[in-house]
């Protein structure tokens, strides 16, 4: 299951949950824009403490790692996106 967000006409990748055979033990992976891939081994990101192998925990962690844009931080995020392209 992929958790993405649509923001200002762009689809932003947030994280992925993989089924392990038990719905109560989903494997979490944060999306790393620096490498353009999901990384199940990276736990050094804002919100990591919310990861608890549930969909709700993944959503909380993803919102902390990649908070929604506001007018205040929109310019910085757009600059970073352009650099990473």
The residue written with tokens 């990384």 in the block is: 39
Give the pTM.
0.72
Residue of 8 and 60 predicted with greater confidence: 60
The range of the structural domain enclosing residue 42 comes to 2-84
Q: What is the pLDDT of residues 52-69, one digit of tens each?
A: 888 889 889 988 999 887
Q: pLDDT confidence of 82, banded at 50, 70, 90?
A: low
The three-class DSSP label of residue 66 is: coil
Tens-digit pLDDT profile for residues 30-55: 999 999 999 999 988 989 999 988 88
CA gap 80, 51 in Å, rounded: 26
Distance set, CA 65 to CA 11, 23, 25, 38, 69 (Å): 16, 24, 21, 13, 12
Q: How many distinct structural domains can be found in the chain?
A: 1
Q: Is the Cβ–Cβ distance between 26 and 18 less than 8 Å?
A: yes
| pLDDT exceeds cutoff 60 at 29 | yes
């Amino acid at each position: 299951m992929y958790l993405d967000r649509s923001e200002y006409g762009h689809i932003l990748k947030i994280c992925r949950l993989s089924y392990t055979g038990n719905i109560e033990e989903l494997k979490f992976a944060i999306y790393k824009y620096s490498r353009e891939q999901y990384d199940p081994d990276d736990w050094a990101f804002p919100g990591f403490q919310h990861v608890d192998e549930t969909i709700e925990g993944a959503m909380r962690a993803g919102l902390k790692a990649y908070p929604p844009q506001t007018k205040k931080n929109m310019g910085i995020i757009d600059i970073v996106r352009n650099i990473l392209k």
